[in-house]
Structure 1
Amino acid sequence: MSDNPTKERFYTNDSAYILPADEEERKRLRRQHQYLTRAFDNRPILAPVQFAGGDQVLEIGAAAGAWLFDAAQQIESSSNVNFHAIDIENRHFPSTPPPNMSFSIASVLELPQAWAGKFSYVHQRLLMGALTEAQWPIAIQEIYRVLKPGGWVEMGEGEARIGCPDGHGRPRGLDLVHQFYLSRGLMVDIGPELPNLLKAAGFVDIKMTPKSIPLGKWGGELGEGGVEGMCGFLRAVKKPVLAKGGFGLVQTGEEYDALIDDLERDFNETPGYSWAHYITYARKPEGVDN
């Protein structure tokens, strides 16, 4: 449970960025990165990329760059690869990144024109809470444009639906997840839909790897990370959910906190809850125009 659920969180004035931009959120994102990487055998990159000197890597929705720093360690330093990260909010950016890393404010929906055909590899993860159904094809086409011919994209997304134990009633807190996504026009099942969207954009050699992540302490270290990530996200979107009226489930901040505390308790005490996460990678064909 949250150490201080009533603590005031800091939100940016940009309404497009719905999550808090504070130290608590930075820590949550770091822990989220750690348990998702652990779920996929501690491999930050699954795509069969062969990096060479001078290659450019782009991370989209980078926050503090947790994935970027781990990926840079996986790629041999002798390969002289350059890394760039973008987000629509810069408060999480590291103040002193290494010389081969840079961070800037940008949106995947409108990447700089000068980036056409620049990157050998693009990584994006968990924008399922940011991009609407209409925006996903635009984002994927922009990624296609900035990749070099033969370059790879790798995307990690999940589902808003939570798997429940057999015979166990659905907690009210799970309705909050579903209603939040629907209220923003988001795709509740974007994870398994990515192969179709990538194919429609022209990508080839598409492969999807699904993982079922346990939610609860009964699931060991991975389950602890899963429940912390899920409930941490719900606590982080408290302000925008209450601004929508609580979807008929809660009316006050105190009711919201109690609902998420009950959900977290149920996750930890009832084996069988799970969340599906999918990593999909694909290649831009050789010999195509940007």
Structure 2
Amino acid sequence: MNEPEQPSERYYASTQYLLPADEAETKRLNKQHAIIVRAFEGRLSLAPISLKTGDRVLESAAGSGIWALEFFEFNRTNGITIDMECIDISSKQFPAERPPEMRFSINTVAQLPSEWIDRFHYIHQRLMVAAMNDSLWRSAILELIRVIRPGGWVELLEIEMETLGWGIGPRSKQLCTLIQTMNAEKGVIGDLSFYLPASLKGAGFSDVHCVTRHVSIGGELGCDGKYYREAGDNEDNRKKGYSSEEWRDIWMGMKGPVIRGGGYGIVNSEEEYEALLEGSLLEWKTSREAYTTFYTILARKSL
């Protein structure tokens, strides 16, 4: 094979995290937020919490801040003004406008400020699978139990990255192989529905459990070329899912790491990777078999 090309520039906050942190990714994350909330029946949180004014909440991996802003407003609408800390490894996606009770800062869950001890009543974190390896997860879980108050809940939402339900044809199966190879090289833990509960219990958390939701991908086109989504498809699961383009855009964001990694034996240039994605896109559009799985893992710090 020829020497792989260098990828077009997008901003990546670290070499460990496989997705970018730029304006295009902010738009994608905000669309994905709506998909995740729909998948969990419109709920922003599954934790059995009862917050009151002044309680402290931490959102780790805040990204664009869309979850934090909606969670803050939901509580304020119900007469509760919470005190929120929102952290991420980059500030590029932080919202320009937010209430004074919300603070955004550059921090990592693997090494939180030392003064944060038994500080938070509730901690929420979403989609860190592509940013973490075993060592980072172990550090993060120890930090979470250090900073959560006794009786407080931690809620970690993740996506399945080991058993991939969206490899449904020759091109999308190639893409799955590429992503799994890259994950292995980066030390990504694919099945967090087993890894995280065991790790949380090992760190001393109690009441640990996992809630699962399967979410559809694509299926817009039937064999007659009809756009089912535009025609008002009445299948509830189908409505909750990703469009083919939305799912393609996740992997388009990983083009930089893929090309810098040499294409992992499957592609050798940006053009080849983009062609692989477009071939996968067509498979997702014309099938109703593709899906992904979200996990919400809940854990409580004992009193």
TM-score with structure 2 setting the length: 0.86
Distance 1:15 1:164 in 2: 26
Aligned twin of 1:137: 138
Written as runs of structure 1 = structure 2, the 5 A alignment for 1:89-104 is 89-104=90-105
Q: Does 1:277 align with 2:267?
A: no
Is the CA contact 2:166–2:217 (under 8 Å) kept in the aligned structure 1? no
Task: Please tell me the residue identity of whatever aligns with 1:107.
Answer: T
For 1:71, what is the secondary structure of its paired residue? Answer: helix
Residue of structure 1 in register with 2:225 after alignment: none
Task: Determine the C-alpha separation between the residues in 2 that align with 1:173 and 1:241.
Answer: 11
Structure 1 partner of 2:205: 203
Q: Which moved more, 1:236-245 or 1:10-19?
A: 10-19
* Amino acid of the structure 2 residue aligned with 1:223: G
Distance change (3 Å), C-alpha of 1:214 and 1:138: same
Quote the Cα distance in structure 2 between the aligned partners of 1:42 and 1:92.
24
1:199-231 deviations in whole A, cap 9, x for unaligned?
111111122110111111356332334x44432
In 2, Cα distance between equivalents of 1:76 and 1:13: 32
Match of 1:153 in 2: 154
Per-residue deviation, residues 29-75 of structure 1 (Å, max 9, x unmatched) = 11111101110001011000010121100001111111111211332
SS at the partner of 1:104?
Answer: strand
State which of 254, 257, 267 in structure 2 corresponds to 1:250: 267
Aligned residues of 1:127 and 1:157 also touching (Cα < 8 A): yes
* In structure 1, C-alpha distance between the alignment counterparts of 2:167 and 2:93, rounded to whole Å: 36
Q: What's 2:282 paired with?
A: 265
Structure 1 residue 8 displacement after superposition = 4.4
Q: Which amino acid is 2:177 matched to?
A: D
The number of residues matched between the two structures is 278
SS in 1 for 2:181: helix
Q: 1:36 maps to which residue?
A: 36
| Unpaired stretches in structure 2, ≥5 consecutive residues | 1-6, 221-236
1:165: Cα distance to partner? 7.9
Q: Report the identity percentage.
A: 34
Cα shift readout 1:121-149 (whole Å, capped 9, x = no counterpart) = 00011100001022212111101100011
Q: Distance in 2 between matches of 1:172 and 1:19?
A: 20
Tell me by how many angstroms 1:15 deviates: 2.9
Cα offsets for 1:68-110 (capped at 9, x unmatched): 1121133245222111100001100112211111100001110
Counterpart in the other structure of 2:226: none
Determine if the alignment matches structure 1 residue 224 to structure 2 residue 225: no
| Offset of residue 164 of structure 1 | 5.2
Listed as ranges, the gaps of 5+ residues in structure 1 are 1-6
Q: CA deviation at 1:171?
A: 2.2
Q: Which moved more, 1:8-17 or 1:62-71?
A: 8-17
Amino acid at match of 1:220: R
Q: Which residue identity is paired with 1:71? A: F
Question: Are the counterparts in 1 of residues 13 and 21 from structure 2 also a CA contact under 8 Å?
Answer: no
